[in-house]
């Protein structure tokens, strides 16, 4: 323990006595660390003092001193950062000057009386010995901590074990922010609230955006958290966050520096291993899609655990900007959900196969990484190709939303076959079919396309369409007859109506179908309904 005034007062052999009431001192004054103890009877010793220490004096400078000398003397000591003043008794006849006692009380500087039989050198030696013992203890601790960290790094999940050990050794909160800006590991978990986590994430993201090796400190509530980039400049792999940055001494900072180097090396090694593992996962996915279950299951059991028990939900997710962050997170989830998840990267998408009980994982992926996800299933492993195709169809629909959403194939199927027309080559045919009406509306200022759409939506009922359009039913009838002449088609037949409705869907003239009619191939946009 670093020597303090309190530890000196507790040593009976020194026989020191605090003058005055301890409650009147500055908060923590008796527990401030002492960096030295030095004797001086100079009227102004402050030019020769540095840092927090205990100044010892016999008081000869107070003999015959002018009024106010003691107050100015103590003021200079406090300004210099002196932690306490030790006054040798029985040297001056009058003892400890009352003016000095009053000045120390006014400035709230601890004043300690040193009996004549206690040499100043004994106090200085006690302080020096305490400092040396603490330095030796901290060096011993640092060596032990680094040994414990080295052993942790040899465990199966060496990075997680190392960070957990660092947190235990420092007694501080430690976290790893991945390359994607997510807090992927934290020890102890939940030690920081959501607001604190967000402050750490913002600081880490800023460091990652710079792309250079750097360290910063952020304020999180009452404590300061230091952030240190991991990896090489231009290819950063993450950020190490350590709480209580302002309370770490040199030994603590040395241990933390060692972990930064170890974590950076581990992440760099993981990058190469992850690339190989990713290729293996992709190969297993293709084998599963081809109907081969035995070989992928045997390999998966040896590496990650068994494949999820069928039937499984198949999900296709967009690859985020930092797909590495998603893959690293999924690797951790595979460990945590053994036998409930298999995933693989396929081109620019990520494919997940989850057990029915773990369907909520898909929502976590969409929310956490802000990606669109399509889901199909449940399907047996032998029918994985169909589930994969359905998930891709649902994913196509999910990507049409600006916000990250999860779309199921069941929801897509309920929209019907015609809903796919706007996503096929039928769009150009549809525009060509509707061109006569679009051109007439653009030239004459009519609303034939809008009227036709509304009339078909009302199943060909003139009265219902007229009410929706706000016109007379005879106006609707006249417009439909005009459309028949322009199109050269009899709209009283089911085939003609179904064909035009499909054309409106494909051209985007129906709400939610896609690109509005008239905006493709340079065609004029259809007028709005009057």
Give the 3-state secondary structure of 359-385: CHHHHHHHHHHCCCEEEEEEECHHHHH
SS3 assignment, position 54: strand
pLDDT in tens, 271-328: 666 677 778 888 988 998 888 888 888 888 888 888 888 788 899 988 776 677 677 7
* Tokens coding 124: 């200085």
Question: What mean pLDDT is predicted for residues 490-502?
Answer: 84
Q: What is the pLDDT of residue 528?
A: 35
d(CA 530, CA 179): 53
Strand ranges (DSSP E) for 341-451? Answer: 341-346, 349-355, 373-379, 406-408
pLDDT in tens, 402-436: 777 888 887 776 655 555 555 555 666 777 778 88
Question: What mean pLDDT is predicted for residues 338-347?
Answer: 84
| Model confidence at 529: pLDDT above 70 | no
Cis status, amide bond into 399, omega within 30 of 0: no
Q: Which residues, other chains included, contact 508 with Cβ-Cβ below 8 Å and sequence gap of 6+?
A: 422, 427, 514, 515, 516, 517, 519
d(CA 152, CA 139): 20
Which stretch, 76-85, 143-152, 185-194, has highest mean pLDDT? 76-85
Q: Is residue 494 very low, low, confident or very high in pLDDT (cuts 50, 70, 90)?
A: confident
Question: What mean pLDDT is predicted for residues 359-367?
Answer: 81
pTM over 0.85: no
Q: Which of 93, 122, 129, 131 is nearest to 16 (CA)?
A: 122
Cα–Cα separations (whole angstroms), residue 270 to 276, 303, 371, 466:
10, 15, 24, 67
Strand ranges (DSSP E) for 257-348? Answer: 312-318, 341-346
| Model confidence at 40: pLDDT above 50 | yes
Q: Which residues, other chains included, contact 139 with Cβ-Cβ below 8 Å and sequence gap of 6+?
A: 251
Q: Is residue 530 very low, low, confident or very high in pLDDT (cuts 50, 70, 90)?
A: very low
Contact indicator for 91, 7 with CB cutoff of 8 Å: no
d(CA 477, CA 482): 9
């Amino acid at each position: 323990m670093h020597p303090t005034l309190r530890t000196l007062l507790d040593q009976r052999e020194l026989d020191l006595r605090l003058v005055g009431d301890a409650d009147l001192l500055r908060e923590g004054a008796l527990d401030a660390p002492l960096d030295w103890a030095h004797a001086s009877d100079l009227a102004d010793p402050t030019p020769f003092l540095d840092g927090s220490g205990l100044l010892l004096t016999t008081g000869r400078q107070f003999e015959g001193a002018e009024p106010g000398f003691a107050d100015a003397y103590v003021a200079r000591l406090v300004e210099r950062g002196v932690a306490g003043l030790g006054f040798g008794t029985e040297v001056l006849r009058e003892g400890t000057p009352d003016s000095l006692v009053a000045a120390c009380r006014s400035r709230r500087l601890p004043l300690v009386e040193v009996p004549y039989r206690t040499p100043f050198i004994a106090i200085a030696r006690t302080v020096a010995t305490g400092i040396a013992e603490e330095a030796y203890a901290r060096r011993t601790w640092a060596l032990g901590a680094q040994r414990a960290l080295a052993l942790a790094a040899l465990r199966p999940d060496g990075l997680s074990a190392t960070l957990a050990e660092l947190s235990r050794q420092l007694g501080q909160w430690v976290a790893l922010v991945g390359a994607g800006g997510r807090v992927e590991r934290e020890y102890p978990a939940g030690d920081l609230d959501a607001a604190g986590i967000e402050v750490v994430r913002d600081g880490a993201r800023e460091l990652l955006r710079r792309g250079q090796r750097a360290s910063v400190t952020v304020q999180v509530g009452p404590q300061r958290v230091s952030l240190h980039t991991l990896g090489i400049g231009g290819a950063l792999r993450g950020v190490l966050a350590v709480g209580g940055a302002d309370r770490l001494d040199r030994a603590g900072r040395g241990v933390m520096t060692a972990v930064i180097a170890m974590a950076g090396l581990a992440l760099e090694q993981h990058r190469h291993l992850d690339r190989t593992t990713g290729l293996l996962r992709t190969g297993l996915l293709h084998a599963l899609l081809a109907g081969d279950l035995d070989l992928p299951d045997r390999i998966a059991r040896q590496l990650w655990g068994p494949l999820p028990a069928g039937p499984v939900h198949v999900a296709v997710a967009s690859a985020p900007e930092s797909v590495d962050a998603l893959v690293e997170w999924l690797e951790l989830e595979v460990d945590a959900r053994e036998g409930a998840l298999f995933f693989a990267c396929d081109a620019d998408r990520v494919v997940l196969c989850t057990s029915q009980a773990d369907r909520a994982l898909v929502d976590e992926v969409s929310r956490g990484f802000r990606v669109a996800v399509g889901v199909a299933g449940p399907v047996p492993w032998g029918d994985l190709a169909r589930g994969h195709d359905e998930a891709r169809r649902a994913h196509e629909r999910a990507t049409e939303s600006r916000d990250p959403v999860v779309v199921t194939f069941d929801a897509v199927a309920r929209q019907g076959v015609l809903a796919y027309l706007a996503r096929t080559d039928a769009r150009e045919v549809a525009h060509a079919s509707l061109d006569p009406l679009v051109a007439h509306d653009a030239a004459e200022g009519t609303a034939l396309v809008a009227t036709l759409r509304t009339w078909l939506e009302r199943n060909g009922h003139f009265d219902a369409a007229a009410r929706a359009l706000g016109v007379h039913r005879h106006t609707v009838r006249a417009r439909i007859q005009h459309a028949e002449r322009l199109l050269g088609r009899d709209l009283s037949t089911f085939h003609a109506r179904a064909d035009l409705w499909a054309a409106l869907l494909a051209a985007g003239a129906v709400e939610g179908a896609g690109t509005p009619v008239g905006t493709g191939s340079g065609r004029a946009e259809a007028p709005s309904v009057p």
